[in-house]
Chains A and B, each alone.
Chain A
Amino acid sequence: MPAPRTLFDKIWEDHSIRQEADGSTLLYIGRHLAHDGSYHAFNALKERGLPLHRPDLTFATPDHGVSTLSHRPEDIVDPVQRRVVDALEANASTHGFTLFGLNDSRQGIIHVVGPELGLTLPGLLLVCGDSHTSTHGALGALAFGIGASDVCHVFATQTLWQRKPRTMQVVVEGRRPDGVTAKDVILAIIARVGANGASGHVIEYAGSTIADMSIEERLTVCNMSIEAGARAGMIAPDQKTYDYLKGRPFAPTGRAWDDAEAYWRTLPSDPDARFDRQIVVEAASLEPMITWGTTPADVVGISGTIPDPLTLSDPSQRAAMMRSLEYMGLVPGTPVRNLTIDQVFIGSCTNARIEDLRAAALIARKGRAVVPAIVSPGSTPVKRQAEAEGLADIFLKAGFEWRESGCSMCCGMNGDLVGPGKRCASTSNRNFPGRQGVDSRTHLMSPAAAAAAALRGCITDPGEFGDQS
């Protein structure tokens, strides 16, 4: 009897070219996703005079630096970002990989585009020069982010040296209370594990709550695995996965689909497979979650209060919390609900798919934004779908700005910024100091909570707007 294996073990072994005595494994990369930020890696490849080894396995779209006001290249006002976006086009011509460019109807944030086009498939080992590559694990792939040197290595060889990570199973059980979204689930998990608590591990999410989630919800969960420090996050493929993928532009068809699906059905972790760590979260205990501080683990429920550094015994932890509260302009003991906010961002690879926009629109239709609020769809197809469903009109009528797709205010590279000292209700993934702009103050939350914050001008329980189903 072969030893029982996890989903992770199966994909890892399927892509292992060779293992060295020093513990490193040479892995084959099934698909490689690139974006405008792959600029440095393409330059390094050029300096070496090396070709792109597998253009047919390389797919790219510009996202980080693109304007969300317009997708005309000349509307990228920052010459540095313009150069980098143009360079991606030039590299696509030089190397012959598939580009979903600014004028292509399939453009978007790379982590929205991959699943949406069926490029991300179960059983694949997929990498990208971006930490939120963990998103793709929601479809049963092993997907992780890498730095520029490793991107160049993949360009040149379609391989990567890695040490096998440990495994961690996060089991989420039970029915979510009304109004508790996938974002709330993952924020609660990060708070429990810690901002780097899963370092060195690949997380597999399991349990009835995860099984009950839609694919888009699972993408949100896996997306933020990196915020717990995990190498990757993944979820076993199931019927929902196959139904989601079937008919997508790059998904297999006909006989190839049948072969693929037969293989994918062998991927879920064996019943007796062992994980190096396991934690269990009860979904019933959750409520809408909001971050108060400067790491994604600084999470409090909507009914909670800003924590008190004096309760911490470790002096450097206490000092860090005080710095964090000072940066955020917050006083311990203050209820997080009703905290005044200055602007709202609905977007990013975490929360800008169609279901996210529907959830935000259900709230937006009940009032008018009293602070500046922008909505940047996760991809151009998502944008068009939202327009067809009437969501764009709802946002516009409610005073939200309806933008083009890109990373936008999540990483603050394209000019979409939170002002100094301003407090932003954001559906993105990081609340680090300066992340959304110098001295910006970010509160991470779900799309429904961000829309509710826009209407009230303060942090608000989206449940106050009644039934959102």
Chain B
Amino acid sequence: MSPRPFTVLQAVAAPFDYPSVDTDQIIPVRYIRTPRAQGYETMLFRDLRFDPAGNERASFVLNRPGFRDAGVLVANTDFGTGSSREQAVWALVDYGIRCVIAVSFGDIFANNAVNHGLLLIREDAAMLTATRAMLDRSPGILIQVDLEAQKWHADCQAPRHFEIEPARKQRLLSGLDEIGLTERFRDDIQRFETDYRSRRSWLNIGSESRHPSVK
């Protein structure tokens, strides 16, 4: 339940050129009711990675030699837009992706990522274009990430600083479960609830139990 802490990472990076990656691409809808425990690795980028018969598409980046074990995706813009399906994050982390670097991310996807120890780094477009080109030429290049220091770099590049919201950084570093964290504020929540119920009293629409069904 608690995400794996993220401190430092050294992993093969794959260039992911698509400038718009909605979560329907990351995991098609027909897989998203799969029980979590079954694992989502094979569903990642399913229709980009495999043809309808289930054969690998040779040109897809994660099927190319040198990129199969990627732990980092160097992406483009608008990664993780669209549907709120958290299964997109499950598919990435189950495959072994621990970090995605892109110009921009979908907001809901970014919120989901932190719950599973997936680090998202925002980087400028020119730097990403150059890095993707380099990775494409030389498959197998490693990227190192140090979350505490907020730095990342590929082999033979100078370290680059990245910004991350302090709350997300702490969550990732600690790997702490959010519900557990919130429980510490139970008294604040209870006090707020009591006050809210009285000042917004029109929201109290009946008993604590469910409203009967209507045929």
Contacts and interface: CB of A to CB of B under 8 A. Distances in A.
Interface stretch (B61-69, B92-100, B103-111, B150-158): B103-111
Interface residues of B, number: 68
Contact of A152 (B107, B179, B206): B179
Contacts of B11: none
Given A130-B84, A159-B189, A320-B20, A149 B112 contact: yes
14 contacts: A28-B193, A48-B179, A56-B209, A80-B33, A104-B215, A152-B179, A158-B189, A196-B81, A227-B82, A229-B78, A229-B106, A231-B107, A256-B201, A430-B83
A97 B209 CA distance: 7
Given A256-B201, A433-B24, A319 B17 contact: yes
Interface in B26-68: 28-30, 32-36, 47, 52
A48 B86 contact: no
Most chain-A CB neighbours within 10 Å: which of B165, B178, B203?
B203
A175 interface: no
B115 A156 contact: no
Given A229-B81, A260-B202, A432-B82, A56 B33 contact: no
A467 B210 CA distance: 47
A92 B209 CA distance: 10
B177 to A, nearest CB: 9
Interface in A69-103: 80-81, 83-84, 92, 96-101, 103
B188 A147 contact: no
A219 to B, nearest CB: 19
Contacts of A323: 18
A317 B129 CA distance: 12
Contact of B202 (A99, A101, A106, A252): A252
Contact of B82 (A14, A263, A430): A430
Interface string A154-165: 001111011101
B210 A98 contact: yes
Contacts of A123: 200
A148 B182 contact: no
Nearest to B52: A438
Given A147-B108, A158-B193, A435-B29, 15 more contacts: A40-B87, A55-B208, A96-B210, A129-B84, A147-B85, A147-B86, A147-B112, A159-B189, A199-B104, A199-B105, A199-B107, A229-B106, A316-B76, A430-B22, A438-B28
Interface of B: 1, 17-20, 22, 24-25, 28-30, 32-36, 47, 52, 76-78, 81-87, 89, 104-109, 111-112, 115-116, 129, 165-167, 170, 178-179, 182-183, 185, 188-189, 192-193, 196, 200-203, 205-211, 213-215
Contacts of A131: 82-84, 108
